[in-house]
Structure 1
Amino acid sequence: MSEHLAQRAAALDAADELAGARKLFALDDAVYLDGNSLGALPAHVPDRVADVVRRQWGELRIRSWDESGWWTAPERIGDRIASLVGAAPGQIVVGDSTSVNVFKAVVGAVRLQDDPARTDVLVDATTFPTDGYIAESAARMTGRRIVPVDPADLVSVIGPSTAAVLLNHVDYRSGRLHDLPALTAAIHDAGALAVWDLCHSAGALPVGLDEHGVDLAVGCTYKYLNGGPGSPAYIYVAERHQAAFDSPLPGWNSHTDPFAMTPGFEPADGAVRGRVGTPDILSMLALEASLDVWDGVSVDAVRAKSLALTDFFLECVETYVPQGRVTCLTPGKHAERGSQIALRCEDAPRVMRELITRGVIGDLRRPDVLRFGFTPLYVGFADVERAARVLSEVLAEA
């Protein structure tokens, strides 16, 4: 049976329209299934970063703010990300961390409402912990109440007291994909604003921010966008909200005339209102270089391959792994699946350590979840078959 699956994997790789993208990354012989935590390094980025350091910073020095385009990088790179998440130009600005941008977005959404009767901020009860911490703090600071809610129960909970809702597009632990179009519509039907966290979906599947009327969104760039460890995050402010968007972190970079250095704050037009302080140029330009791997790539093709990879992984696991040794937490339905597979497993910490020792790199969510992220630009079907086979070997030894 293993020979049959290996042959199928080879045939699938031979027919893969995205297979050529793998050579754009600096990879070794390991099976890297942790791109949902840190994307692999695009091979050309070190030389680009070296130019930023040696020539732009080392030779041009302060002139690079103009001559090398440093000053406009947050908007320029934001427009490149916009094309990957279904947004028109001028609505995304890059900078700060995801956590900081969640704070801007939640407070900004409450201020856009400007309605004291809307007392509640709803937050995904299964959210990545920091999103919950930030949302709770934002609610306190705006005099609102935080209400944790399971996304499956949102429609029954949301109502006239809801100001804003913060949801994850894909659950970080299970890989469940939430229905962004339907949930956004339900939020709007209740008169509230929708804030989406795209950390586990941008670069892995179509998002459609403009098409589905999302109000605000945030996301990181170091997972499926391969921007590098700690690369700057981004915030999306829909064009219809930009004139009224009141950021809780006004800084000189978001001033309409930043170099006037006036004591009073006058917000700039457009998405620039999402900026705060001096951009982190080295990591930002590394991110810009990383986005080159997306040139000519269709997000729809990425999504199709992602589903094929995860389907094949589940088939291989079912074939190789003895029944009852792992339980899949990720939904089987394509419409409910992101680009990762989460398996509950007894003795998961030991299993993941041994997998990594044998060249299959996934990650662990304590106490008992093995996570495997599938980045279609550089993960192939032979990788998938090998990962499942090694997993079965490790479990057999246990």
Structure 2
Amino acid sequence: MPGNRAVAYKGPRHVEVIDIDYPTFELKDGPGVDPANVGRKVPHGAIVKTVATNICGSDQHMVRGRTTAPVDLVLGHEITGEVVEVGPGVEFIKVGDMVSVPFNIACGRCRNCKEGKTGVCLNVNPSGYGSAYGYVDMGGWVGGQANYVLVPYADWNLLKFPDRDQALEKIMDLTMLSDIFPTGFHGCVSAGVKPGSTVYIAGAGPVGLAAATGAQLLGASVVIVGDMNEQRLAQARSFGCETVDLTKGGPAEQIEQIVGEPFVDCAVDAVGFEARGHGADAGEAPATVLNSLMEIERSGGQLGIIGLYVTGDPGAVDDAAKKGSLSLSLGTGWAKSLSFTTGQCPVMRYHRGLMNAILHDKVSIAKNVNAKAISLEDAPQGYADFDSGTSVKYVLNPNGYIDA
């Protein structure tokens, strides 16, 4: 069996690259694996040799100790790879296929999957709805920041790239299809972005920049990105976005200076539960983004909430927030007849179309999020640099495909 190295959570702000077992077509016991999933047979699965696997802001929440993730949980839900083995129940995916792996794990058989709600599959996580690789409380499917990873329901889940050489040429863009590009795009679709819209994106991390890219692809007239990190705001400006510096206060006045009124047509939350208040010295205030978006969103508008919110946060600022209970101004939302869309992006709804946009040079998502490839062994430093606020989307290169 080939060796298998992987990035594992070792405690708050501590990750290590460790040796793990090569995947088999059975879910074994391990850190975070739901007891009801132990021994689960996966004849419908494929083993994927990782071509690229990215560090995500959602991973950082766990690494900061802001979830109930167990020590030794193997991280990584943004996976692109080459199929090296298939189970006896796989009919269409073949060894040698180059594929994108949606971060949602979905069976393709349940009511939600059949309705296109693959982010809340009913059959992959015994303790709740929805699942993802290498993520806390999502069934215990082993993460993909590794040399090899098991993908269940391969015929359903995997998006095959049409040409191997073309895929490798554009791999830094295509690796964004597993999560952040569809997620950012979903935020904009959920917010009702259409040609001519004015759009505000809260957060200039990689997901926020992906949302800004999605808004441009959908035809927005103005895309405004708000953040407290000047390096990340500069990255947003590099591909045509307007920016709001939230160290100077709330967004409304600055938005008015850009579009002539303190409102936008569409608003997206790409921050989530570790949000800070506005102003240079503001501390953590997790409801800030949601409340500010309700204020600046035009009456009758829509909010796309793609920032992560959790029900277990041991590092939260108060007891309510530790359980995911935030002080929302729901009255504002009700009075303005606002609509809200939350939850995991159903990646399959978008990834084929976004793949075609990449392959036909309609979008440069890797450039917009400032993607940088590093080795698997350099992952701990990548996590530390990303946590410090650098405006880089780190892409791990475990098997040397990107260099090739």
TM-score normalised according to structure 1 size: 0.34
Structure with the bigger percentage of strand = 2
Structure with the bigger percentage of helix = 1
TM-score normalised according to structure 2 size: 0.34
The structure, 1 or 2, with the larger RCO (C-alpha pairs under 8 Å, 6+ apart) is: 1
